[in-house]
Structure 1
Amino acid sequence: MASAQGVGVANEDSVYASPTAVVVLDGLSAPKDLPMGCIHGTPWFVQQLGTRLINLISSDTVPLQEALRTAISEVNALHRDSCALDQEAVPASTVVMIRKRVDDLDYLVLSDNVLLLDLGERGVQAIVDKRVEEVAGVEMRAALRGPTGTPDHATRVSALVTVQRQLRNRPGGYWVAATDPAAADEAITGTIALTQIRQAALLTDGASRLVDTFGVLSWGQLLDLLSSEGPAALIARTREAELGDPVGERWPRFKQSDDATAAYVLLDGTTATAARKSARRT
């Protein structure tokens, strides 16, 4: 596992692991144009949600959606009396998590974190919830126009966030973990037999950029990098690419660098990279 702060004032990502489970969260930055309904802030919310999730899903009898519903409710209870949780601006987070049971791997993805599963001869499957990219198209295209880091660009990104926030956790919009436990019902979930999976990766969108934003790696190559050099090397290579295009001229994006977190999981005793390359040859 590795995590690194981007251009913000704090790293709002977080990663948690137990012997049978991994949880990766990407906190959503607090809006600057509205009073925050929570006095604690996004990093606190992410930490509280993540610690509850990893404890809840360590039991293989709890469905992942139920664990997420419970965790959101428990965090609500922690600060309902001190914070205005009915306000529009409250802390929120994306979620991706996996849990190993006896013969199966369960997964849950909510919003734009990425789960990669190496299925051997069947290739690499990327599971990601892209509904946030399907709303506010006009504002999103404007926000992606550079140069990154200018006051004009910041204004356009703020306009996008304003529209997105109005569509958050609503039918026809997109869903994140915030104060509504029902968001758990909107997550992408599934179960795959462990015999079908060689390795997995859980990534926040700041750690998936080399593929889905920059296009310099495939998902398979990203897994190879994780397998051979580790998550910290993936983040370092991402930072190198970002520094080579500081104003988003080559790769338009909302900010020069984002908080980046990656967790790599090897699910059997073989060398996963060699196994997948052997499968390609056959």
Structure 2
Amino acid sequence: MHDVQVSVASAQGVGAANEDTVLASPTGVVVLDGLSAPQDLPMGCVHGTPWFVRQLGTQLINLIGDSTVPLREALRSAISKVNDLHHGSCTLDQEAVPASTVVMIRERGNVLDYLVLSDNVLVLDLGGDGIRTVTDKRVEEVAGKEMRAALQGPTGTAEHAARVSALVAVQRRLRNRPGGYWVAATDPAAADEATTGSVSLTQVRQAALLTDGASRLVDSFGALSWEQLLDLLRTEGPTALLDRTRKVELSDPVGERWPRFKQSDDATAAYVRVSLPASLHPDRQQLT
């Protein structure tokens, strides 16, 4: 009875490849943001981060198709399955392995399930109950000294890149352990740290799943509110959001006004619009 429409867009930022992934099925959407690995730091996986996020996303979109599988269990299983794909060729028992943030939703009957791990953002428009955002910013609470140094500009210089590498080196030691922060990497137990929940589909007017490169117009730059971001997605689509983000980034190319780790990050947005027949939810007519 629900009409769920999904539109997506993804754009590569500064870097050799887009390390984001977005996948959609008739009942689910998965958005991943791979953690960048500076070239001067070791990496225990020969495949690299883009490969990892594609494999993890594929496993997740397949697993959440079974509505009886809780989303945390789907993430736990997906991490294990990706481990099986490359444990023979890669060194997975160290800190230097690919990792990714996760945000996903699933339609399950009259319910929308969601899961968020790390700093991707889920934005839910719940009509009269307002806008709800779900994210996990624990990564910003660790390595404060190194993070402040890495945010000092100008971006694009060798000195700035060295400070970012120093931050990543410290973050790796704090990744997926108590007192640190949690992402999807090689430890299936990270799934237990994800934020999960469910809302009635009759409440949901629209939703957005965003990597931090696509949410920065609101939570980093303050150029839009969450309501305005959803309006932009509804009226012009995800590509317009990413284009607007790039224009703002280019207005501050070296991170003087808005300090950041690189001029432009990979950015991915999935926009979801949920409608019901007017006979079931008369207020829904306002969306058309």
Which bin holds the TM-score, normalised by the shorter protein? over 0.9
User: Once the 2 structures are TM-superposed, how far is the Cα of residue 155 of structure 1 from its aligned partner?
Assistant: 1.6
Structure 1 window deviating more from structure 2 (32-41 vs 126-135): it is 32-41
Residue 181 of structure 2 corresponds to which residue in structure 1? 174
* Residues 41 and 165 in structure 2, CA contact (< 8 A), matched pair in contact too: no
User: Once the 2 structures are TM-superposed, how far is the Cα of residue 31 of structure 1 from its aligned partner?
Assistant: 3.5
* Residues 111 and 130 in structure 1, CA contact (< 8 A), matched pair in contact too: yes
After TM superposition, the score normalised by the length of structure 2 is 0.92
Distance in 1 (CA, whole Å) between partners of 2:234 and 2:190 is 33
Distance in 1 (CA, whole Å) between partners of 2:41 and 2:261 is 20
Structure 2's unaligned 5+ residue stretches are 1-7, 278-282
Distance in 2 (CA, whole Å) between partners of 1:114 and 1:18 is 20
Residue 107 of structure 2 corresponds to which residue in structure 1? 100
Letter paired with 1:171: P
Distance in 2 (CA, whole Å) between partners of 1:203 and 1:115 is 6
Matched, 1:111 2:150: no
User: Once the 2 structures are TM-superposed, how far is the Cα of residue 269 of structure 1 from its aligned partner?
Assistant: 5.0
Distance in 1 (CA, whole Å) between partners of 2:115 and 2:196 is 4
Residues 96-153 of structure 1: CA distance to partner in whole angstroms, max 9, x if unpaired? 0000111111000001100000011221111001000011111111111111112221
Match of 1:28 among 29, 32, 35: 35
Matched, 1:265 2:280: no
Residues 234-257 of structure 1: CA distance to partner in whole angstroms, max 9, x if unpaired? 000000000010011111111100
* Residues 64 and 74 in structure 2, CA contact (< 8 A), matched pair in contact too: yes
Structure-to-structure mapping, 1:40-189, within 5 angstroms: 40-189=47-196
Aligned pairs, number: 275
Distance in 1 (CA, whole Å) between partners of 2:40 and 2:150 is 17
User: Once the 2 structures are TM-superposed, how far is the Cα of residue 69 of structure 1 from its aligned partner?
Assistant: 0.4
Counterpart secondary structure, 1:195: coil
Letter paired with 1:147: P
* Residues 202 and 276 in structure 2, CA contact (< 8 A), matched pair in contact too: no
Matched, 1:239 2:242: no
Residues 57-88 of structure 1: CA distance to partner in whole angstroms, max 9, x if unpaired? 01111100000000000000111111111122
Residue 225 of structure 1 corresponds to which residue in structure 2? 232
Match of 1:17 among 8, 12, 24: 24
User: Once the 2 structures are TM-superposed, how far is the Cα of residue 30 of structure 1 from its aligned partner?
Assistant: 2.1
* Residues 146 and 249 in structure 1, CA contact (< 8 A), matched pair in contact too: yes
Structure 1's unaligned 5+ residue stretches are none
Residue 5 of structure 2 corresponds to which residue in structure 1? none
Residue 222 of structure 2 corresponds to which residue in structure 1? 215
Distance in 2 (CA, whole Å) between partners of 1:126 and 1:227 is 17
Distance in 2 (CA, whole Å) between partners of 1:229 and 1:33 is 40
Residue 3 of structure 2 corresponds to which residue in structure 1? none
* Residues 120 and 209 in structure 2, CA contact (< 8 A), matched pair in contact too: yes
Distance in 1 (CA, whole Å) between partners of 2:168 and 2:37 is 10
Letter paired with 2:275: D
Distance in 2 (CA, whole Å) between partners of 1:245 and 1:123 is 32
* Residues 31 and 89 in structure 1, CA contact (< 8 A), matched pair in contact too: no
After TM superposition, the score normalised by the length of structure 1 is 0.94
Counterpart secondary structure, 2:213: coil
Counterpart secondary structure, 2:103: strand
Letter paired with 2:96: A
* Residues 41 and 169 in structure 2, CA contact (< 8 A), matched pair in contact too: no
Letter paired with 1:20: T
Counterpart secondary structure, 1:109: strand
